[in-house]
Amino acid sequence: MSEMEQTIEKLKGLARDSWSGEEGERRAERLEKYLRAKLIEYSEALNTPQEEILRAWEKKRDYSAINYYQECNQPSIQPGKVRVFESVGDMLQAIGEKKFRCPACGGISTDPYQCDSGKKVKKKTCDWKVYGFLGDLGKGIHVFCKDKMRGETIFMPVSWESSSVTVES
Ligand SMILES: [Zn+2]
């Protein structure tokens, strides 16, 4: 049995032991289904072997498997809407100056998650949050750092805006 299969079996065991009887078995099956789908998705998006991804997740996991392997910790990577970096350092370098476009007011925020542009929207200072209910309004970007095996959605860095502008002839 490969290292990856052994790990999946171990995780299923943990899920099974988290509840007695049939419910335990259901949890184990649900975890396996979730894991395999996520591993395929991440492996393809990141061009990285599944074994490596699972190893990185397990290294980072410091609480129960059932709670760790959840959509909030392994969010979907949408092809075309994600930029992948080897490390957080590489990402920060690519962003450059800390200026991010707020999707709500259009102002420039120094915070990539919550608008601090100071612009007023309906007499109220904008404090739009990318993690709020309406998220990035489809205008942000998902950045993924391979060293952390984790991605998140942020306001679009101003330095990346020009690359998405369509040149009209
Ligand atoms: Zn704003």
CA distance 55 to 58: 5
Q: In this structure, are 59 and 93 located in the same domain?
A: no
HSE (side-chain half, CA atoms, 13 Å) at 96 = 7
47-102 confidence digits (pLDDT tens): 889 999 999 999 989 999 999 999 888 888 766 678 889 999 999 999 999 999 99
Q: Which one, of 121, 112, 168, lies nearest residue 139 by Cα?
A: 112
Q: What is the mean pLDDT of residues 106-127?
A: 96
Q: What is the Å distance from ligand 1's center to 90 Cα? A: 26
3-49 confidence digits (pLDDT tens): 999 999 999 999 999 999 999 999 999 999 999 999 999 998 888 89
Q: What is the Å distance from ligand 1's center to 146 Cα? A: 29
Q: In this structure, are 39 and 92 located in the same domain?
A: no
3-state secondary structure (DSSP) of residue 97: coil
75 within a domain of the structure (yes/no) = no
User: Quick one: tokens of 28?
Assistant: 């184990």
Q: In this structure, are 36 and 100 located in the same domain?
A: no
Q: In this structure, are 58 and 130 located in the same domain?
A: no
Q: In this structure, are 36 and 107 located in the same domain?
A: no
Q: In this structure, are 90 and 55 located in the same domain?
A: no
Q: What's the total number of domains in the chain?
A: 2
More confident residue, 54 or 162: 54
Q: Residue 33 is part of which domain span? A: 3-68
Which of 25, 41, 68 is the C-terminal boundary of a domain? Answer: 68
Q: In this structure, are 118 and 45 located in the same domain?
A: no
Task: Give the H or E element holding residue 150.
Answer: strand 150-154
32 within a domain of the structure (yes/no) = yes
Q: In this structure, are 53 and 101 located in the same domain?
A: no
Q: State which residues have CB under 5 angstroms from ligand 1, the bound ion.
A: 102, 104-105, 107, 115, 117, 126, 128
Q: Which residue has the tokens 């790990």?
A: 7
127 within a domain of the structure (yes/no) = yes
Q: What is the Å distance from ligand 1's center to 156 Cα? A: 12
Q: In this structure, are 54 and 98 located in the same domain?
A: no
Phi and psi at residue 152, in whole multiples of 5°?
A: -155, 160
139 within a domain of the structure (yes/no) = yes
Q: In this structure, are 99 and 129 located in the same domain?
A: yes
**Does residue 144 surpass a pLDDT of 60?**
yes
Q: Decide if 156 contacts 140 (C-beta within 8 A).
A: yes
77 within a domain of the structure (yes/no) = no
More confident residue, 138 or 34: 34
